[in-house]
Amino acid sequence: MLKKKKITTGQIVRRVRAGEIAPVYCLFGGDSFLEDYFINELRVAFLKEEGPKLHFSLDQDSPNLLLLELSSISLFEEKRIIIVREIKKLRKDKERKELIEYIQSPNMNTILVLISEEFDIKNSFLREISDLSEFLDFRPPFENEMKKWVRYILKSNDIEITESSLEEYIQLYGDSTAHVISEIEKMALFLGKGCVINNENINHLDAHDRIFHLWHLQDSLGIKNLKSSLNIVESLLQNGTKITGIVISMVFLYQQILWKKMGRLHPIGYTGINKIITSRISNYDKYYTRTELMALLQDLHKLDVLSKSTSLKEHPLLQPFMVKICKGKYV
């Protein structure tokens, strides 16, 4: 069996837009946004915004309904897209055989999209489907792949981004492909096509409809900005962030600053600080003494224990604790 060359999302979308459309696609990976994005591209290119999309989910629908639909398709019927989720739940040999037979001789007026969240190389049925179809990997992008994805989507919307701004953009919006697309749409609407995204307009747009992240809090606490820190904490709590998550993010920050003062690198695999915060540790270092850091880390441990023992959404000691930090009461 020949190993297929991996096709990127950008490559397959360009093919579809150019009219190079396969009769059967097999999608795996579980990124629902990428799946929907690709299916929409198929709809526009193949159906020209017209014609039906038929949905089957084999954890809910009978496989017989799918097989009946495939067998009843006529060459003279209108174009359609048939989307089948949970394809691995097609378990009976007879049903699998009928589907394989269709894939081997598909109707060219129909696009069949088979979706499986996971791909088990030991599953002979999935292996055979992948060999006979256009097999696409739609797993959520890793950080380095997310950068390529952001560049591609921006370029598709006729928007450029400076290299220095790309890192911050990923930290702000790169938690999911859905978030990336949502923010790009805002950028295109606000700035217009042909614009160049830089740090200034990222911050300007983000301030209009800001969803704060824990790293925003770390950044404000790093320079002892009390007003900003309190506002961010309030926003985080209102959006469902738990007290324990806030406390832990503070621990990560102050451990990193303390390690810097001690001339130590953070442990391998340490993930509590993102790259933006890491790049600013030398600046935060100026605001804290070693004694101060050790004392507030001890109090953070006590606050963590206390926060886990209360059912209150907002612990009354958190804000006073931050006031104590930013006002230099630990010195």
| pLDDT score for 24 | 93
Q: Last residue of some domain: 137, 153, 181?
A: 137
Domain identity same for 123 and 33: yes
Length of the chain: 331
Q: How far apart are CA 21 and CA 4, in angstroms?
A: 17
108 within 8 A of 81, measured Cβ to Cβ = no
| pLDDT score for 48 | 77
| pLDDT score for 22 | 93
Element (H, E) at 38: helix 32-42
Beta strands in the chain (DSSP E): 24-28, 53-57, 80-85, 110-116, 134-137, 160-161, 196-197
Domain identity same for 260 and 235: yes
24 within 8 A of 114, measured Cβ to Cβ = yes
29 within 8 A of 137, measured Cβ to Cβ = yes
* Pairing of β 110-116 and β 80-85: parallel
Phi, psi at 192, each rounded to 5°: 90, 155
Q: For residue 271, tell me if it sits in a domain.
A: yes
Domain identity same for 248 and 320: yes
93 within 8 A of 121, measured Cβ to Cβ = no
Q: Last residue of some domain: 187, 208, 229?
A: 208
Q: How far apart are CA 36 and CA 42, in angstroms?
A: 10
| Ramachandran area for residue 185 (φ above 0: left; ψ -120 to 50: alpha; else beta) | alpha
3-class state of residue 26 by DSSP = strand
Q: Last residue of some domain: 208, 238, 262?
A: 208
Domain span at residue 67? Answer: 9-137
Domain identity same for 121 and 54: yes
Query: How far is C-alpha 16 from the chain's CA centre?
Result: 23
How many domains, the chain? 3
Domain identity same for 190 and 222: no
Written as tens digits, the pLDDT of the chain (331 aa) is 444 556 777 788 889 999 999 999 998 887 777 888 888 888 888 887 665 567 666 656 667 777 777 777 655 567 888 888 888 878 888 888 988 999 998 888 888 999 887 777 777 888 888 889 898 888 877 666 778 778 877 887 788 888 878 877 777 776 667 777 777 777 777 777 777 887 777 766 655 455 567 888 888 899 998 888 888 888 888 877 888 888 888 998 999 899 888 876 555 444 556 767 887 888 898 899 989 999 999 988 888 777 766 554 455 678 888 888 888 776 5
- Count the Cβ atoms, other than its own, within 10 Å of residue 229: 24
Domain identity same for 203 and 223: no
Beta strands in 144-281 (DSSP E): 160-161, 196-197
240's tokens:
């469902």
CATH code of residue 51: 3.40.50.300
Domain identity same for 39 and 125: yes
